Amino acid sequence: MTTTENKVPDPELAAAVDTAGGATAPGIATGYEGTIGDQFRAYIARVRSGEMGMLPAIGGFIVLCILFEILTQGDFLGLLNVSNLITQTAFLAMLAVALVFVILLGEIDLSAGVTAGVGMAVFVQLNNSLHINWFLALIVSLVVGIVIGGFIGYFVAKVGIPSFVVTLGLFLGFQGLQLVLLGNGNSYRITDPSVLAIENSNMPVWAGWLMWAVIVLVSLGSAFYDRTRRQRAGVPVRPISMLAIRVGAVAVFTGIIVALLNQDRSVSVVPVQGVPIVVPIVLAILWIATQVLDRTRWGLHLYAVGGNPEAARRAGISVAAIRISAFVLCSTLAIVSGLFQASEVGVVGSSFGQTDVLNGVAAAVVGGVSLFGGRGRLVQGVVGALVITAITNGLGLMSLPGGVNLLITGGVLILAATVDALSRKRAGASLARV
């Protein structure tokens, strides 16, 4: 028997076999996963079975944009507000990305917001009081995040205390630690120009287009890399036209955003144009973290532990190590989100970050990450953060009270959790029928 005959058939390849004649579907026979039409029909079938991903969040964001554009008489999608919306989303998007790592395990970290506060308290004390270079101060703050994440992970994975209890205790305790580090009621201004520039300055116009070119090339390179890897493994690949459509969509969408942000959006004689500096930083961190989650053995193990920890343990996966490392990543990225927020507001006080974690969880869930674990992607946290920030931003433009913002955000979160629960039921029913 030849090597080809010994290969285990791909599930989609087997599904394409004609049971009557034993022949393979034309697309599969040539090594492709069907035509573009086949791909579209397969996507619709997945949506109907409950695998909606971030589709509801994207749809909700589009509806919000249309609604607020009408209610604010064109101010919401104005150039200045679009730039503000992007910078306002940055810190919440990073916090949501941090929380996705633990939510994928079916865990929670209620201390992520105050962890960012403690990290920034350490940062301002080192940078302002001891005059240590901001980059070195940030490294120390990130080490603090690593230690906090390791502490949480140890008690969750080794001692067996529920993550809700451990992180709730730290949520309360770290508020006291912030008071100790900063003093009761004290606030420290961010004085380093490099830190303030992260959220408040823009790149040159040419740098924005360079970023666009890098995004397109990275998307193209990643797509060809995945295609080559699948071909080497003997797995059918999508038609090259699908690759072109995906990369083309990325190029067009990012090109439009860069073109808009490169226009002058000032309200005075001083021109303001260019992509905010925080944008490439967020995109770089998101890309690296996505590669780790989607293309490494550790990432596969994380999804396995989140889906079924007992099955993962029996398969030889170190469940405790995966849990500890996920909490370490969460706390470390929470410090990064704190840096973005400190850069935006310019002040670190004793209550810094105490109300942010719930919005971070809401952003992840609204984006489509399942609270039950094992399902979700990092980009969904970013999309969810964009939805939450759009609500806050739009209601602010309408000068509505903060209570309305909380009511609407809470309602959106409950709706997203309901969609998640119903989609899991529907997916389970589909599997039962099979």
What pLDDT score does 1 carry? 38
Tokens coding 94: 């990073």
The per-residue pLDDT for 38 is: 72
Kindly state the tokens that stand for 407.
């009511």
Q: Which two tokens stand for residue 16?
A: 């394409």
Quote the pTM value: 0.86
Residue 220 scores a pLDDT above 50? yes
Give tens-digit pLDDT for 34-44.
Answer: 677 777 777 77
Measure the CA–CA gap between 103 and 307, rounded to whole angstroms: 11
pLDDT of residue 358: 84
CA distance 58 to 42: 20
DSSP-assigned letter for residue 156: I
Residue 5's pLDDT band, with cuts at 50, 70 and 90, is very low
426 pLDDT tier (thresholds 50, 70, 90):
low
More confident residue, 414 or 253: 253
79-109 burial: b if 16+ Cβ within 10 Å, else e: bebbbbbbbbbbbbbbbbbbbbbbbbbbbbb
Per-residue pLDDT tens over the stretch 256-275: 999 999 998 877 777 788 99
Query: Where is 141: in which H helix or E strand?
Result: helix 134-154
- Look at residue 333 in the predicted model and tell me its pLDDT: 96
Tokens of 79: 């150039």
* Tokens read off for 368: 């489509």
Query: What would the pLDDT profile of 383-407 be if each residue is shown by its tens digit?
Result: 999 999 998 888 888 887 767 777 8
pLDDT single digits (tens) 310-327: 999 999 999 999 999 999
Tokens coding 386: 């964009």
Contacts of residue 412, Cβ cutoff 8 Å, sequence gap at least 6: 60, 362, 366, 387, 388, 391
In this predicted structure, what is the pLDDT of residue 71?
87
Q: Which domains does the chain show, CATH number per domain?
A: 31-201+276-433 (1.10.3470)
Give the integer Cα–Cα distance in Å for 351 and 181: 12
Burial class (CB in 10 A: 0-12, 13-18, 19+), 416: buried
Q: Take residue 50 and report the two structure tokens written for it.
A: 């409950």
Contact status, residue 85 vs residue 390, Cβ threshold 8 Å: yes
Residue 385 is which amino acid?
A: A
For the cut 90, the answer to whether the pLDDT of residue 276 exceeds it is yes
3-class secondary-structure state, position 32: strand
